[in-house]
Structure 1
Amino acid sequence: MFAENDAVSTEPQAYVELSVTRFSTGPSGAVQIEAALSVKGAQAGAPDTSGQFYMQRVLVQAPAVSSGTMAMVQALSQLLGQLADQAAAQLRMMPPVPESQTTDTGASGSTAHHRK
C-alpha cells in the first residue's frame, strides 16, 4: 500500500487504479460491478506512460442473492475480490523491475533488496 505524505514512504513499482461506475443489484436480482481497471508500471515514483500497461472495462456479476442488504453486501464484496484477483494477475504479467529500482539504502548504508 502506498500513502502519499506518510512518514514512511517507498517508491511504488506499479500503479493499480479501479474506477467503479456501477456497484448495484440489477433488475434480475443479480449483483454487479462495472468498472475500469488500469495497471501500469512506475518510473521515478510516477506512473510510467511510456511502458507496458493494461486497461480494461470489466463487468463482474453474481447470481441473484436472497433478499436483504447483508446478502447483497456480501456478494458485492466477493465481486470486489474477483477484481482484485484480476489486478494481481496483471501485475504478475508485467516485466520485472530493473535492479536499480528494487534497492534501497538504509541509514546504516547497507543495501536491502526487495520488491514492493
Structure 2
Amino acid sequence: MPQPKSGADLRQKVRFERRREGAPDDHGVAQFEWQSLNVERSASLTPTRGGESVQGDRIAGNASWDLWVRNDSETRGLNTGDRVVNARQTDQTFAIVFGPADMDGSGAWLFLQLRSGAADD
C-alpha cells in the first residue's frame, strides 16, 4: 500500500455512496438504494490481490484494492457500509472493508481497503 507523496499521485477520481432505505415495494418490503454522498475526490486506487468465490453456484471474481484520499471531514465520515464508485468508470464499484484510517499518523492521508465485486451484496 504505497502512500501518496503528493497530490500528483492522486490520478483517479472516486465518489462515495451510502445505502439508504427507499420506498417499499408492492408487498411492503423496504427497498434499499445507493445514494450519492456528494463527495468526489481525487484518489490513488491500486489493486493488491484477486480471488474467486462461489456465489449462487457460480464462480465470482473479486479483488482487493487500496485507496488513498486526502483527510477531510467528509472522508473521515465514511464507514464500511458505504461504497466507492470510480467516477470515470461508473460501473466499477467497491465495498469498503477497512477504514478510513490515518495509517502514518500524519493527518494528511486516509487509507481505505476495498473489495471489488462485492459492493452490491
Please give the TM-score of this superposition, normalised by the length of structure 2: 0.26
Q: Going by fraction, where is helix more abundant, 1 or 2?
A: 1
Greater relative contact order structure (CA < 8 Å, 6+ sep): 2
Query: Could you say which structure has the larger radius of gyration?
Result: 1
Please give the TM-score of this superposition, normalised by the length of structure 1: 0.26
Q: Going by fraction, where is strand more abundant, 1 or 2?
A: 2
